[in-house]
Amino acid sequence: MQQSYQETLDFLYAQLPMYQRVGASAYKKDLGNTLALCAHLGNPQQQFPTVHIAGTNGKGSVTHLMAAACQAAGLKTGMYVSPHYKDFRERIKINGSYIPKKKVVEFVSQHKEAIQRIQPSFFELCVAMAFQHFAEEKVDIAIIEVGLGGRLDSTNVIQPLLSIITNISFDHMDLLGNTLPLIAGEKAGIIKAQTPVVIGETHPETRPVFEAKAAEHQAPIWYADQEYQVQVLSGPQEAPGRASYQVYKSGQPWGEVLQTDAVGPYQQKNLATALKSAEILGGIPAFQALCARKSADSFFPQRAWEGFFRLKELTRLQGRWQQIGSNPTILCDSAHNEAGLSAAFQAVAASSFGQLHIVTGFVNDKDLGKALRQFPSKARYYFAKANIPRGLDAQELQQAAAAQGLKGKSYSSVKNALKAARRKAAPTDLILVIGSIFVVAEVI
């Protein structure tokens, strides 16, 4: 008798270690299980073209932007992202539609013997499931987001048309290394032989790492920020949920005003990375041949503009600078490391509101000192534990924050913390929910 969808999810969570829930013990430092699973499935990852995206911050947004551009061009586009907020199926989408529950059940049921024999991690199984779904549904192209690192990430069994590395900053240092060059070395592991690579942000410590890896593999390399700059013209204050940008190419205004529902303090960099990546992808002969076969429009820049304008509609992007309430304004954002938090709070500082209320929580393997130093002292804090095993105890977080001069109370749940913030906030105040994707997941 076939299991139900919920029974299938229970099996996945119970039988397979999941990094997002249990941490480093679930991280497999080789590709053996993924390769074995893919071989069992007939190597579905070889049956469609891909774009591979790594980076410390912005890789999820750039994945969605590239998928939207491909969809706007008329291509049937698969997208693999992680982790998920509420629904496991958020990880595996085609043209914005989640993998059907029936397909998840069938995949686990049909391959349970191999799963029990190979003993993959949760993430390894998700990647294989995505590849199988994309192959069965005959996608034209798939945009694949790296889960963690790059070199040893389960997604790194593909031969993409284009590799993208958004940026490098400090995160997951226990697994990837404690210096920027070491972290860059892990991310650079997605650079493949004679395969173009776009780096989103130039950094003096990481540039030599990327240049050496690209030279080793004879991979053409570009830096998006060396050519494209994106300036905010108007933000969600003027048009809720939307932002307008002026694009500059080589220092000159370029193209019409770019409007998108990708809002947030970091989207200028993500848009610049996506624009350069779309330009390079659009010039790759294999991609041009694909577009010709599918009667698809070459998507740079016109279709990229269109895709970015309809980003959330096309891809179901969520959790990034997302407004979930008014009077007071309530924003949530999944920034969780030093660089992401810094950008978020710079944007908060430039905004106009009464009192700032911050609902926050972290996982227990974060470098709390570096993260908490980004938080403003002139805010009221509501500390909570995310409802996962890795969630940091709220009272422990409260004490660590107090040592940094951040004052507030601890709450038994994220929802209770947000309720308390709502009670205390005036209509002109701002409530920000931030610190972990799992905290955001409980309020969206």
The pLDDT of residue 338? 81
d(CA 289, CA 275): 20
207 phi, psi to nearest 5 deg: -55, -45
CA angle at residue 331 from 326 to 336, to 5 degrees? 170
The pLDDT of residue 262? 79
438 phi, psi to nearest 5 deg: -75, -25
Residues forming CATH 3.90.190.20 domain(s) in the chain: 322-441
d(CA 237, CA 133): 40
Cα separations in angstroms, 264 against 242, 347, 375: 10, 8, 17
List of residues 6+ apart from 141 with CB closer than 8 A: 48, 49, 50, 51, 70, 75, 76, 77, 78, 161, 287, 290
Please give the residue that has the higher pLDDT: either 75 or 386. Answer: 75
At 24, is the pLDDT very low, low, confident or very high (cuts 50, 70, 90)? Answer: very low
pLDDT digits (tens, 9 = 90+) for 415-431: 999 999 999 999 999 99
Please give the residue that has the higher pLDDT: either 142 or 1. Answer: 142
d(CA 218, CA 191): 10
Of 58-62, 248-252, 343-347, 363-367, the poorest mean pLDDT is in 363-367
The pLDDT of residue 366? 67
At 365, is the pLDDT very low, low, confident or very high (cuts 50, 70, 90)? Answer: confident
pLDDT digits (tens, 9 = 90+) for 153-201: 899 999 999 999 998 876 544 455 568 888 888 899 999 999 999 999 9
CA angle at residue 362 from 357 to 363, to 5 degrees? 170
Residues 226, 227, 233, 234, Cα dihedral to 10°: -70
The pLDDT of residue 121? 85
- Residue that is written with structure tokens 């991979």 in the block: 219
CA nearest to 107, candidates 52, 53, 153, 44 = 44
Task: Match domain 5-315 to its CATH number in 3.40.50.720, 3.40.1190.10, 3.40.50.2300, 3.40.50.300.
Answer: 3.40.1190.10
pLDDT digits (tens, 9 = 90+) for 111-125: 999 998 998 888 899
Annotate 129-154 with b (16+ C-beta within 10 A) or e (fewer): bbbbbbbeeebbbbbbbbbbbbbbbb
The pLDDT of residue 73? 95
CA angle at residue 72 from 70 to 74, to 5 degrees? 75
Asked if residue 233 lies in contact with residue 257, where contact means CB atoms within 8 angstroms, the answer is: yes
The pLDDT of residue 16? 67
pLDDT digits (tens, 9 = 90+) for 323-341: 999 999 999 998 878 878 8
List of residues 6+ apart from 402 with CB closer than 8 A: none
In the CATH hierarchy, which top-level class contains the domain 322-441? alpha beta
Residues forming CATH 3.40.1190.10 domain(s) in the chain: 5-315
**Is residue 279 pLDDT above 80, yes or no?**
yes
The pLDDT of residue 351? 84
**Is residue 241 pLDDT above 90, yes or no?**
no
Q: Measure the N-to-C terminal CA separation of the chain; round to a whole number of Å.
A: 35
pTM beyond 0.85: yes
List of residues 6+ apart from 371 with CB closer than 8 A: 336, 337, 338, 341, 362, 435
Please give the residue that has the higher pLDDT: either 181 or 257. Answer: 257
List of residues 6+ apart from 42 with CB closer than 8 A: none
* Beta strands, E only, 112-160: 141-145
